[in-house]
Structure 1
């Protein structure tokens, strides 16, 4: 069993979206409902916090520096000097941004959901650096974890209320042939964020499951890591060698939060991650 450590005792309302930024040697992560983008340097322990003006579902590094942000009203670009501008603005009443991921070609796959989690109220869209947008999946309920196999030919995806991780064939920016990859059994929690490691295994955080699971490329469960936070939300490999698994957690909706609900946790030496591409815009 891999032992966890507490990276940041943050008390985040809805911690999410851990992403390793190799250019700065820092982990980027979020408090969605707290409207904060955090960074954490594991070498020095240094942290930064930037407040956004809207609920923020994802923050990913850009190839030219700065961040791309998946926000309530659309996708925006934050320059290294702090200048903000919208790349694609599409406000929809009652809807907000959720998880997002950068594909091997540098495009951003950005998810949305309704605040009331109404069925079919969200989407998954692909955005390129010039602001072109294509809705890949309409009628999603809670768009969540997205990731690609090491060769880029498969895309894994979570719409949380389905209780599944699905897999698609992926090529030239498109997906087809959706089918179940892994089903989370009743009572074990709900799939949330995910990441894919260098062996092609899929790691998924379980909301209300207090755990992270790893599935082989064949969809077989081969590892369960129990954590001291009920609402584990997402996971990503980081550190200089991409061997440490960072896990975000949440305390929102819990009547009696435990001390580490909302903390950023880390599992040193859990595996070997894949370098994540930067957004090409």
Structure 2
């Protein structure tokens, strides 16, 4: 079950405070991710080891691309269209915003489903409050933000879809939850059915943070606080465990020309951080990933 796979630290990526939401952009042979408290989106062109960073006025938590290379992002106050330039300039325009039920909230984990709808969840940033005010939202191809699709979340995370798009995965990574759920998903309407427990990490290790699904339909979750990647089969059985140099992996994404490299962002803890915490890591887990879906709507030029 445990796999001896070496994870390589990408020093050219530089260190983040809360690295999140890695996205492989095939057209650029580049990895994108965010540093939430730094209010930034970062790109690393892998072969050139060239790093570009774009700064914003508020925190950026999750991003996806449209076919034109523009970005849809879940930020502090809503869903934004973002335009990035190669010179490091960036512009953002708010497209929609939920009615936050509590103060101190922001978007957290998000990505597109197989049909190109952008999904993102919210959370109360002060995790010590354990507030279940978070919810999951759908931003469709027409630019309409839904009412809460799933509510009662403390720390929304782990959003992913099966290869055929008929199963949606979602986790709550708060220490009081540590659950990954699965939902039967209607690809035509973008509607999930009732949730069921897919993996309870109280029986394993760590907290289920960001995730990715491979071409075999297996679900990879970052076991935050445990320095592990855990791979669950579509039946919810743990079949692989990979140790990482950093204690707080936050999200993973497949990339590289053959989609066989797994990139992992990490968080640098406020205390007792190691030299590896906060970096991006790359490893070859021996399986292939899936292309990241693009947003199907028409984003305006910000």
Question: Which category describes the TM-score, using the shorter chain as reference length?
Answer: over 0.9
Asked if structure 1 preserves the Cα contact closer than 8 Å seen for 2:230 and 2:242, the reply is yes
Q: How does 1:260-271 map to 2 (within 5 A)?
A: 260-271=276-287
Alpha-carbon shift at residue 160 of structure 1 (Å): 1.2
Please give the per-residue CA displacement for 1:178-215, whole angstroms capped at 9, x wherever unaligned. 10111113672100000000000000001101111111
* SS of residue paired to 1:23: helix
Q: Which has the higher strand share?
A: 1
1:99 is aligned to: 109
* SS of residue paired to 1:222: strand
Distance in 2 (alpha carbons) for counterparts of 1:212 and 1:246:
11
1:137 is aligned to: 150
Give the superposed CA RMSD. Answer: 1.5
* SS of residue paired to 1:272: coil
Asked if structure 2 preserves the Cα contact closer than 8 Å seen for 1:198 and 1:274, the reply is yes
Alpha-carbon shift at residue 131 of structure 1 (Å): 2.1
Q: How many equivalent residue pairs?
A: 280
1:247 paired with 2:255, answer no
Distance in 2 (alpha carbons) for counterparts of 1:260 and 1:169:
38
Distance in 2 (alpha carbons) for counterparts of 1:145 and 1:119:
18
Alpha-carbon shift at residue 89 of structure 1 (Å): 2.9
- Once the two structures are overlaid, the 10-residue window that deviates more, 188-197 or 159-168, is 159-168
* SS of residue paired to 2:259: coil
Distance in 1 (alpha carbons) for counterparts of 2:208 and 2:106:
19
Please give the per-residue CA displacement for 1:249-277, whole angstroms capped at 9, x wherever unaligned. 00133x12100100000103542001111
2:136 is aligned to: 124
Query: Equivalent of 1:168, from 168, 176, 183?
Result: 183
1:110 paired with 2:114, answer no
1:205 paired with 2:222, answer yes
Q: How does 1:170-249 map to 2 (within 5 A)?
A: 170-171=185-186, 172-185=189-202, 188-249=205-266
- Once the two structures are overlaid, the 10-residue window that deviates more, 126-135 or 233-242, is 126-135
Distance in 2 (alpha carbons) for counterparts of 1:83 and 1:52:
8
Asked if structure 1 preserves the Cα contact closer than 8 Å seen for 2:63 and 2:111, the reply is no
2:300 is aligned to: none
1:37 paired with 2:52, answer no
1:150 is aligned to: 163
Distance in 2 (alpha carbons) for counterparts of 1:72 and 1:14:
15
1:86 paired with 2:94, answer yes
Distance in 2 (alpha carbons) for counterparts of 1:194 and 1:48:
24
Asked if structure 2 preserves the Cα contact closer than 8 Å seen for 1:160 and 1:192, the reply is yes
Gaps of 5+ in 1: none
Asked if structure 2 preserves the Cα contact closer than 8 Å seen for 1:73 and 1:91, the reply is no
Distance in 2 (alpha carbons) for counterparts of 1:53 and 1:271:
38
Query: Equivalent of 2:293, from 267, 277, 281?
Result: 277
